[in-house]
Amino acid sequence: MNTLAIIGGTGLDTLGILHVDKRELVNTPFGEPSGPVTRGSLFGQEVLFLPRHGYNHNVPPHQVNYRANLWALRAAGADSVLAVAAVGGIRTDMGPGRLVIPDQIIDYTWGRSSTFFENSPGGKSEPVTHIDFTEPYCDELRQRLLKAAFAGNIAVVDGGTYAATQGPRLETAAEIERLERDGCHLVGMTGMPEAALARELELCYACCAVVANRAAGKSGDIITMADIDKNLKSGMQRVGDLLESLMSFD
């Protein structure tokens, strides 16, 4: 791994562990990213950081400019991307506060700009391009995360299928039952098209999912933002520990 970029989700930018050197406005052919790219250091290692939902957390998941975000990070020098994302836990071992390193994903989103390989109206015709997405996450980075977790004595769940839903609302209990029948183990709103776009740009991309709540119908309780915030706070502390261990390998 050379230059690692971290795409932050809910809670990551509040940890206070990133030393900021500067923020760069990066222009892309696909519009504006969620904010300037932060260049700084994390436990002594140079990293790039971009908050997926903006620095004021005002960009909902279905309106994130995923293409601009990934393009901006690559333009800033990233070759690896770690996506940190809050999710709901479907499988019983994915309770609130747990960290999950998923290995598969199913896309249930719609209407999002999901590829760089498309022709603009009246523009130059480009050949049709298909990426191999059999394994949607970069195994090299996944293994580094798992080794860092082991070295730091940090409990993580190795593997799982991420269901990417449209949002911004949470799912119904029936929808979660459907996702479970489909083989999904956790559910979030930002995993796609982020993972596929990273693959198109040949970026090594992996996800560290933080379980913020039991998915709808899995606990018998109403899901509240207060509970989500509490679980994210503890989960993000573990993310910080994982990042510290990961940086010791680089």
The burial class, CB within 10 Å (0-12 / 13-18 / 19+), for 135 is: exposed
At residue 176, the 3 state secondary structure works out as: helix
- Which pLDDT value is given to residue 177? 97
Spell out the residues 6+ positions from residue 153 whose beta carbon is closer than 8 angstroms to its own: none
Query: How far apart are alpha carbons 71 and 201 in whole angstroms?
Result: 8
Domains of the chain and any CATH numbers? 4-114+133-247 (3.40.50.1580)
Q: What is the DSSP letter of 244?
A: H
At residue 12, the 3 state secondary structure works out as: helix
Query: How far apart are alpha carbons 11 and 234 in whole angstroms?
Result: 10
The burial class, CB within 10 Å (0-12 / 13-18 / 19+), for 111 is: exposed
Provide the whole-model pTM.
0.92
Query: How far apart are alpha carbons 248 and 244 in whole angstroms?
Result: 7
Q: What is the DSSP letter of 158?
A: E
- Which pLDDT value is given to residue 13? 58
- Which pLDDT value is given to residue 123? 57
User: Crossing angle for the helix pair 225-247 and 139-151, nearest 10 degrees?
Assistant: 90
- Which pLDDT value is given to residue 120? 62
At residue 156, the 3 state secondary structure works out as: strand
- Provide DSSP, 20-50: EEEEE---BTTB--SSPEEEEEETTEEEEEE
Name the phi and psi angles at 51, rounded to 5. -80, 120
- Low-confidence stretches of the chain (pLDDT < 50) are 1
Q: Which helix (H) or strand (E) holds 139?
A: helix 139-151
